[in-house]
Amino acid sequence: MEELYVDPEIRAALIDLAVRNKTITYSRLNADFDTGYNLQDPDDRDGFAEDIQAISIKEVKNGRPPISCVVVYKSGSVGKDMLESIYTMCQELYDLDPETTKPNSKFLKSMQAKCNEYWKIPANYRQFGPKKW
């Protein structure tokens, strides 16, 4: 299986947002980190979303919550594809029941809360968070 690339600066920023119980828009994240993506171009927009998703895939594979849930549109929501991706990633980790848990805004809020709770635990942050040299 191909190794996923995770931008350590973006991952660190998302973790710091989770600790502070904050979210960030795709456009703000793109501008703040000068990623080079043109979010007006659908292919670039998809590529940027895939980069953000890769961070969460790696987090979930390591038993941590999907940090990409703190990246939202200006409306505070995420796209259907991203929401379904987060849901699929989390089905096994959180033993989600498709009968009772649906990929919707309530689910997104619960994942954001899980990220906030997880990263606020000092031991988790020290062991798995960004390394500050």
In this structure, is residue 131 part of a structural domain? no
In a domain, 16, yes or no: yes
Q: pLDDT, tens digit, for every residue of 45-85?
A: 888 888 898 899 899 999 999 999 999 887 766 777 778 88
The total number of structural domains that make up the chain: 1
Which residues span the domain enclosing 54?
A: 8-125
Question: What contacts 112, CB < 8 A, 6 or more positions away?
Answer: 18, 23, 69, 70
The answer to whether position 2 is within a domain reads: no
Distances (CA, A) of 93 to 27, 33, 40, 101: 29, 30, 34, 14
Handedness of CA 31, 36, 41, 42 (dihedral sign): negative
Q: Is the pLDDT of residue 12 over 90?
A: yes
Q: What is the pLDDT of residues 18-48, one digit of tens each?
A: 999 999 998 899 999 888 889 889 898 888 8
Tokens at residue 107, please?
A: 């689910």
Q: Which phi and psi (to 5°) does residue 24 adopt?
A: -145, 145
